[in-house]
A = this chain, B = another copy of it.
Amino acid sequence: MEIVINIDDETPLFSQLMEQIKKAVQSGNLSAGDSLPSIRQLANDLDLNNKTVAKAYRLLERDEVIVTRGYRGTFIHEQAKKNSDRDLNAWVALELTKTIDTLKHAGAMDSEIRIAFAEAMKKER
């Protein structure tokens, strides 16, 4: 499989990486159980920082598209194909939009919503 990262693209590098791995899973280029390059290896190949690749891997594991097995490396998740369709971001956006809509219809100003949101994010630890 080949991965191409475009630095000029406005989408974050870790997002590009996630998208391409998900696409490879959906197209069948990557199948359940396949091993992925190590974080350091991939970072070196793509000329990215370790942290950038690690972030993509961390999120892909949370989405159950890949599985990390410590020193053994990283592999494609058994349900990767099914899970690579799910879009957590879209769901998050939908939930937030619904709530914001409610607040605005009640007359809340944008700044009030933003302040309250920032406070809520701080306190929810």
Interface, chain A (partner B; CB < 8 A): 59, 62, 88-89, 91-93, 95-104, 106-110, 112-117, 119-121, 123-124
Contact = CB atoms under 8 A, between A and B. Distances in A.
User: Interface residues of A: mostly helix, strand, loop or mixed?
Assistant: helix
A117 B114 CA distance: 9
The quantity of this chain's copies bound in the complex is: 2
A58 B31 CA distance: 59
A96 B99 contact: yes
B96 A117 contact: yes
B95 A124 contact: no
Given A114-B121, A116-B92, A120-B96, A59 B101 contact: no
Nearest to A107: B62
Contact of A124 (B62, B88, B104, B114): B104
Contact of A107 (B88, B98, B109, B116): B88
A64 to B, nearest CB: 10
